[in-house]
Structures are given as structure tokens and as C-alpha cells.
Structure 1
């Protein structure tokens, strides 16, 4: 329940602080005084779109604070708890600041939040019914929303939305895959040829590097072998001047000389060891020569393989060492294209299943809508009679669409039909109802919906436009009854409606030093009598008008 509202520098309001109570509260004032200014400010505080026009001329920013009692509002408390915004008491403070540049900031219990979060929380706090609600009533989608709001089958509505969303997602993927398949037909043919060619060649990872190294070795094997033979001759096999024989001769000489000077003994030892090492190396060289593989056919095979790798690499505009990776890549690409057929088959099955799920959910929702439509028909027809449309009859006509042409709202299309005179056939609202009748029907629907949808605070912003006389008294009675269980705030110009309220605010507009100021003050009993009398008689308030006003107020006591 709304318990406090503070407004600073908003539109033509300089500063305003008001306290609110349970029951029905009427807001009245002169034409053009800005009776709806508090409602507009509250709407801003509840997350409505903000712009620079909200800031009073000459001010840097506008600020609106709204205080709510959440004692019996479990959903609002759960929202605050979920977002870690709850406080120890049962109150909630919403605050919205709009700067002169149009930027805004939002707060819940002192913590910064988004306007979207404010708006989400506001659904559990306030429901505002504007003076143009009857215009929305002519729209089929809005009519369906009203029916669903009365039925309260939110879970069924969500199931239909979710199943439709899933179905639409699958259909979109099917279209995408199908288009890809058509576009990739020519590409698939090319890839099949390329993969077949590379499969036949069957290059392995790292093969190019190995082939290249082997080719280098084989192509130089003859010169290597010749060099080995020449060096073997020099090192060991030359009859008189081989390196080994010369080392052995020198070792013998120094061994003899060491008898005269023992310091040369070490030289003799090293030369003798060198001769042994040369002889060992010569045996290794001889073994290499004896086992050398000089098969010309192997070199031929390696050259052919290497040429094949180079040719394929040039053909695909890649480096030779990337050929194996390229081969695997186009194989994967071809596999993905080939898998499209399987994916399309799977999607066809999934779409069929999703369609059946959607159909079942939509049919359950449709059954529930028909059930509550019948109840709503009776209630609205009865309410029309109470609003001076004694012969009025209301009917919600539901027709079921084919599943394939349905949408996220289900398989039902809705039309609000009405007959306002005896013998008149049921027809669409816009064809039958006059402006005043449409306002009354709209008000009847809003009140009935409000009684079912447990929003703690209901605001009616001049919804009684086009209503007068006995009908106005009926409207006032209806709103007062609603105020017994729900906080009702009503902006009105009708004395019959204003007198029905438990309490009343009066809005005035003043001009001071070329600046306009709007004020709103709570009226005491005498103030209410004077204001109701003004609504009855205009600016010329007579004793008779006051007596009539007193009688109107007392009739609701």
C-alpha cells in the first residue's frame, strides 16, 4: 500500500509531500490545475520512461520518492529478498532522480537499480488505469490480456509462450540448415573431389619433413660414399703414408726418445692412442661403405612422393608442410555438409514433437480461457446494468485458430461483443458502444479485473470521463466498495465519485512571479463539503450546494 509520496521539481511542482491511507482516496481540482500530477510522478517513480521534460524549468533535477507498506505483500517482499534489497521493517522506499539532460537514476531502499527493476517491482505494488483505457479496450490483443489477467492462469500462459518460443527456434534452425544445404551443393561436389584426391595420396602428419630429409640424404649419397672411400684411403689404407701408419711411426720415435728424456713419454702415449682412434674410425668408415644403400629406385620413389606433395600444395595454395592439416580440414567441412541431411531429419522430428507440445499447452490455455470468459460475461453484464445500461449484455467471443497459424499468445482470437439495447444483436464494441458507454464498459471491466488481480493499490485516472448523473453515483459506489479490500486512488471531476471516497485531496495551481506552481493538500470535512459543492455548482457556491454536498458525503458514511 502507498503510504507516502514526495515530489521535488517535477513538471510544475516545486515541492510536494503527501501521506496516503487505505480505502478510497479521491483527487479533485480545477480544470488545468494538474490533478494527475501526483499520478504522473508516481508512474515515473515506478519505472516509466523519463526525459528532460519531467524536470521543472530552471531546476537541475527532478526527484520523486514513494514509500510503500509491504506488510501483506509477499510477492514484493520476495522480489526484494531475491535482489538483496530488503530491509528489516516492512516498508519499501522507491526513489527516481531525473537530471535536466534527460538521464535518470533509480533506487530501491537506497540501493541503485535499473528502471526495469523498478518496473518489475511496481507490478506487485500499483496498477494504474488511465483515462484512455477504453481506447485500448478495442484492441484484440489487449482484450486477450484482460481475460488472462482475470483468469490468473499465468502458468498456462507461460507454458504456451515457452513452447512457442522453442518451436519457433527449431523452425528457424531448420530454415537456416536447409538454406545452407542448397548453397553448399556446388561446394560439396568440389570438396568430394578434393577429399578423394587427397585420400588417395594419403599424406601423413610430418611426412613432408621426413621425405624432404630422406631425399636430401639419398640425392647426396654417391658423393658421400666417394668421400668416405677417399678419406679411408688417407686415414688407413694407403700403403706407406696413411695417417694411422705415420702416427704409429711417430709414437715409436718418441717412445725411444723418452729413454733420454722421460718428459717425452707422455707424447708417445698420446700419439699411440691417436693411432688407435684413427684405426677405429677407419673401421667405422669401412663398415658404412660396405652397408651403404645406393638403391636408385628408392631415390626415384622419394623424388616422386616429394614432387606429388609439392604439386598438391601449389594446387591448393598452401605450404607443403600444411597439406596434411588442410586434408583433415576439408574432410571435416565435407562431413559437416553431409551431416546437414541428418540434422534436417532430426529437426523434422523435433519440430513435430514441439508442435504437439505447443498444441497441448495451447489447448489447455484455450479451455481455461473459455471457462473464465463465461464467468466474466456474467459479471460484466451485471456491472453494465449497475452503470445505467440495464439492457446491456456482454460476451467474450473466442475462436480457435489452426495450430500452424497460432502465436505465442495461443490458438485463440478474441472479440469483445456487446448489445446495449433489447433486440440488438451482439456486435463488436467499436460498432455498437458510444463514447460514454465504452467508458462505462471499460470501467466495469477494470473494476472486476482489479477485484480478481490482487494489486494492493489501484489508481483510476479520470476513467469516469463521459459519465454523469445516476451512473456517476453507481461508479462512486463501485469504487468505494473496491476500496474496502484494496487501496483505491481516483482522479475525478464528478461530485458523486468524489463524495464516495474515504478521504480527498484538492489540487490547485498558482502563478507567482511569472512561475506556475501546483499544490495538493488533504481536505478535512469542511474542505470536502466546499469542494464537492464547487463540483456541483461551480465557482458560485451556495448554501444549497453545500447542503447537497453534505448529503452526498453522509450518504456514504
Structure 2
């Protein structure tokens, strides 16, 4: 359940902290006071679509926080572990920041998650039921999902098996259809890939080859410069006449004659000796390089041609030899798969027929168990509608077989709800005959049934009582309170009957503070509840009679809860 809600700079709310309890809580107030803003905040906390439009004028961002009791739900526990979210046994803290730039930052117990994963977590915490769910009832394609939501583990297991077989069938079908439709295009592509593979293979590239070739070309292209430098260096070190090596040899001999006279002279002598021998060794190396130096014009041409080939292949297949070879391995695998599939076309078509038979077999099992679930759901809905003064209603869940080859991942059937609220009249599709008030009651009946099995810890009703009055309003109030016996219920309402049966009531109002409009929320004490319910009964003018009526409603609700 939702324990605490904190809202900062959201719409016309500058700052708001609310605490909630188990049972039924109603939010009441004048039209336009901002009741739905509270529900919008809860929706955003559980993964709803956000926008910078929600940010209070003049603020840089809005911040929403919610403290939830951790549901005892293994699926949720598994999801949180998968997302790397640490939890204790008691609570979950969700925070969502929306900045003026449109950036959203969502955290669950301090760990950042994306919107999609926040929505997955939120599905276990809060179920917001408003006018949009009436719209779902008016979309017949949604009815099958509602039926499945009512199903048990056996239905879920069979549905998962069907979906797995169906997915395999569609994957094989896609391969077969693709080959049948694009055989010419496929053959052209294979020819192109074969040419590319042969071309790259013939090049026999080696990783690092280009760098070595460029270094070799640099040497061959600078032959004369290298030769001149080597010759001049050798001549300077060990040429005829007054060479550097001779001079250093002379210095070495002179220093060796005095090295015994002082330790510093000995160090100098050793340094010059080392230099002499190093220079003598360098002279030998220079001589060997000069002797081996030879201009190879043919090799230079070979290197240039090889580098040109590399350049052309890089332009076609990649930015480096590594990427060219990587591409070669990719197309080699594709060619191998193509050769394998070439011989499997007939085999794939046979497998497609076999897999289709499995889809139909599993689909028939799914249909059978769905029909069993539908019978139970029909019975339960009629029971709930009877308590909502629709006792003469007939309700039927009808199955329509899809034409061959048109079955879907949902199964072999379409499902649609049929209803008649007038005795003697034939059942017709719910989407065509139900009024707004009737839709509210059908949806409330479904919610009552599902709240007992789905394990949602908080259910929010956003003005689901619109369009009803009198005894129907009282029946809806009792039904919403009945739901609160299994889940925490938060309800926005304009009906005094609904407000009266609540365990807790919050009053929402707008105030002008410093020429700015702000929404304020406060929990009402018993006397304040009498005044507020009286206002809901009479409108702007509260009379002694409406006050007495308000007290009566509250007393009746209290007796009903006691019973």
C-alpha cells in the first residue's frame, strides 16, 4: 500500500506531504481544486508518461516521492532482483524528478531505473481506475485480456505454452515466406557476397601488414637520403686522415697515462674508453649497413601495388584490415547459412505445417480453459451487478473463431462481452448498448472480482461514480468500500454517499498565496467531515437539514462497518 506521498513543484502544488492508511480514503473538494493532480502524481510515480508541463511555473523541476509497503509478491521480488534493486522486508521508496529540459530521473530504493522498468514495478503497487478504463470496456479487442486476467495459474501456463509455439510458428513462417517471395533477390545477394568473399580471400590480408608496408615503402623511397647519411656518418667517425675515432683514441691514450694519479682522472679515462669502443662498434654497424644497402625498384613497385590494393579494399569493405577481415567472417557465415538453408527449403515448409498443427492443438486447449473461466466470470459479474441494482441484467462472454491462418499470439478466438439490462431484449455487444452509468458499474464489478485475486496493494478510483445517483450511488459506495477490504483504496468522488462510507477523508482546496494559486490538502476530523458531506449534498449553501442528512450518512456508514 501507499504509506506516504511527497510532491514538490508539481502543477499548482508547491509542496505537499500526505500519509495514507489501509482501508478506504476519499479525496473531496470543489471542482477544479486539484483532486486529480494527486492521482496524476501517483500515476507518474508508477511509470506514467511525464512531461515538463507538470512543473510548477517558475521552478526548474518537480520532485515526486512515494513510500510503499513492500507487497508479498514473488514476481515483484524477482523483478527487483533482476534490476539490481536492494529491498528490505517492509518498504519501497520511489522517486521521480522531471526537469524543465524534459529529462526524467527515476529511482527505486535509490537505484536509477528507466521509465519502462519503473512501470513494471508500478504494476505491482498501484492500479489507477478512471474514465480511460471505461474506454477499454468500449474496445472489444481488450475483452480477451480482461478474461485472461481473471484466469488462474492453469490458464496462464497453457497460454504461455501457446505463445511459445505460436512464436516458433511465426519465425519459421517468416523464413519460408521470405525465401519464397525474394528468391531472385536472395540469389543476387548470395552471388554478390560470394564475389566479395572470393575477392577478400584472394587478397590474403594479414593484420598489421599495412603498417609494415608503409614503413618499408618509406625506406625504399628514401634510398639516396639513407645512403648519403650512412656514408657521411661513417666517414666522420672512421674516415681516412683526421677522423673522430682517431682523435678519441689519442685522448684515451693520454688519459690512461695519468689515471693512476687521481680517482677523478681514472673516471674520465674510463668514460673516454667506453666512448671509444661504442663509437668503434657504431662504425662497424655503419659499414655493414652501407655494404648491404641496395636499391630494389621492383620491391618498391610491389609495395606500392600492395598498398593500393589495401586502399581499394578499405574503400569497399572497411576502414582497416581488421574491419575488412571481420566483414569477411560475417559474409562467410551468411553464405554458410544460405548453403544450409538451400537444402532445407522443403524441410522448412514441412516444419511449418507441423508447427501450425501444434499451434491449433494448443489453441484449442486454450479455448477450452478460457470458456471454463468465462462461465465463472459471467457468474461472478452477475452477482456483483445484482448488488449494484442491475439484478435483471444478462451478461455473456462470447467466443468468435478466427478464420484459418488468421489466429494471433492471443489465440484462435476473439472474445467480446455481450449484455442486456432490459428483460426481454436480446443480448448485444457491450460496446454498443451500455450507458455511462452502466459501464461504471460493470467496470466496478470487474474491479471487485479482480481485487480479490490480483494482489494489487493500492487501487485508485478517479471519479468512477460519475453519472449515478440515489440508491445506485449508495450501492457503488458500498462496493468500493468492499474492495478496500482486500486492498487499500483511494477514491476521488463528488458523491456524498461514497465520501460517507470512507474510513478517512481528505479535503482538497485552492488558495491564493502571494498572488499564486496553490493546492492544499488536509485530513478532515469527524466534525469537518459532516460539514464537507453537507456541502456535497447541498452545494454552496449548507442548511440544518443537509447537516442532519450528512450526520445520518456517516452514522449509517459506521453501523455498516461495525456489522
Q: Could you state the TM-score of these two structures normalised by the residue count of structure 1?
A: 0.71
1:554 aligns with: 555
Q: Secondary structure at the match of 1:485?
A: coil
- Specify the alignment match of 2:322 in structure 1: none
Local SS of the residue matching 2:542? coil
Q: 1:365 and 2:366 equivalent?
A: yes
Please state if 1:61 is matched with 2:61.
yes
CA distance in structure 1 between the aligned counterparts of 2:95 and 2:189, rounded to whole angstroms: 60
Does 389-398 or 183-192 show the bigger shift? 183-192
Aligned 1:221-300 pairs, distance under 5 A:
none
Aligned to 2:527: 526
Confirm or deny: 8 A CA contact 1:420 1:432 kept in the other structure: no
Q: Distance in 2 between matches of 1:191 and 1:457?
A: 58
Displacement after TM superposition at 1:138 (Å): 1.5
Which has the higher mean CA deviation after the structures are superposed, 390-399 or 417-426? 390-399
Residues in 2 aligned to 1:72 and 1:188: alpha-carbon distance in whole angstroms? 56
Query: Where does residue 347 of structure 2 map in the other structure?
Result: 346
Q: 1:334 to 1:78 in 2, by over 3 A?
A: closer
**1:81 and 2:77 aligned:** no
Contact conserved, 1:508 with 1:520, CA < 8 A, in 2? yes
Matched, 1:125 2:125: yes
Equivalent residue, structure 2, for 1:5: 5
Q: How far apart are the structure 2 equivalents of 1:89 and 1:174?
A: 51
2:165 pairs with 1:181: no
- In structure 1, the residue matched to 2:160 is 158
Given that residues 125 and 457 in structure 2 are in contact (C-alpha distance below 8 angstroms), is that contact kept between their aligned partners in structure 1? yes
In the TM superposition, what whole-angstrom CA distance separates every residue of 1:144-187 from its partner, at most 9, and x where no partner exists?
11111111433333333332222111111112222343346689
Q: Secondary structure at the match of 2:344?
A: helix
Please say if 1:480 is aligned against 2:489.
Answer: no
Cα distance in 2 for partners of 1:27, 1:334 equals: 66
Match of 2:433 in 1: 432
Worse-superposed segment, 454-463 or 58-67: 454-463
1:299 matched residue in structure 2? none
Q: Which residue of 2 aligns with 1:504?
A: 505
Q: Indicate how the Cα distance of structure 1 residues 402 and 518 shifts in structure 2: closer, same or farther if over 3 A, else same.
A: same
> Any stretches of 5+ residues in structure 2 without a counterpart?
205-312, 314-330, 559-563
Are the equivalent residues in 2 in contact too, given 1:181–1:340 (CA < 8 A)? no
State the 1:51 CA deviation.
1.1
Match of 1:141 in 2: 141
Counterpart of 1:168? Answer: 170
> Paired residue for 1:281?
none
Residue by residue, what CA displacement relative to the aligned partner does 1:474-523 show, whole Å, maximum 9, x if unpaired?
A: 01111111111211111111111111111111111122343211111111
User: Helix, strand or coil: the match of 1:536?
Assistant: helix
Residue number in structure 2 paired with 1:382: 383
Report the counterpart of residue 40 of structure 1 in structure 2. 40
Give the match for residue 31 of structure 2.
31
Give CA deviations for 1:272-302 in whole Å, capped at 9, x if unaligned.
xxxxxxxxxxxxxxxxxxxxxxxxxxxxxxx
Task: Work out whether residues 400 and 415 of structure 2, in 8 Å CA contact, stay in contact via their aligned partners in 1.
Answer: yes
Tell me the residue number matched to 2:418.
417
Q: Structure 1 residues 30 and 173 mapped into 2: Cα distance closer, same or farther (>3 Å)? A: same
Aligned residues: 427
Residue 22 of structure 1: SS of its match in structure 2? coil
User: Secondary structure of 2:497's match?
Assistant: helix
- Helix, strand or coil for the counterpart of 2:415? strand
Cα offset, 1:392, TM superposition? 1.1
CA drift at 1:79: 2.7
Q: Cα 1:482–1:517, aligned 2, differ >3 Å: closer, same or farther?
A: same
Change in 2 beyond 3 A, CA 1:445/1:184? closer
SS at match of 2:16: strand
Consecutive unaligned residues in structure 1, runs of 5 or more: 206-317, 319-329
| Residues 29 and 508, structure 2, Cα contact 8 Å, conserved in 1 | yes
Contact 2:162–2:359, Cα closer than 8 Å, also in 1: yes
8 A Cα contact 1:388 1:471, kept in partner: yes
Aligned-pair CA distance for 1:367: 1.4
TM-score (norm 2): 0.71
The RMSD of aligned alpha carbons is 2.9
SS in 2 for 1:409: coil
Query: What is the CA distance between 1:385 and its match in structure 2?
Result: 2.4
Q: 1:471 to 1:154 in 2, by over 3 A?
A: same
Give 2:211's aligned residue. Answer: none
User: Deviations along 1:331-351, whole A, 9 cap, x unmatched?
Assistant: 999987665442211211221
- The aligned residue for residue 22 of structure 1 is 22
SS in 2 for 1:351: helix
Q: Which runs of 4+ in 1 moved over 4 A?
A: 184-192, 330-341
SS at match of 2:378: helix
Aligned equivalent of 1:238: none
Conserved in 1, the CA contact under 8 Å of 2:140 and 2:416?
yes
C-alpha displacement of 1:403: 4.8
Deviates more, 1:4-13 or 1:134-143: 134-143
- Separation in 2 of the partners of 1:464 and 1:187? 63
- Deviation (angstroms), 1:358: 1.9
Q: Is the CA contact (8 Å cut-off) linking 1:95 and 1:107 kept in structure 2?
A: yes
Q: Distance in 1 between matches of 2:455 and 2:31?
A: 32
1:458 aligned residue: 459
Residues 187 and 471 of structure 1, relative CA distance in 2, 3 Å threshold: closer
- The 1:336–1:42 alpha-carbon spacing in structure 2 relative to 1, beyond 3 Å, is closer
Residues 508, 520 of structure 2: 8 Å contact kept: yes
Aligned-pair CA distance for 1:409: 0.8
- How big is the shift at 1:541? 1.3
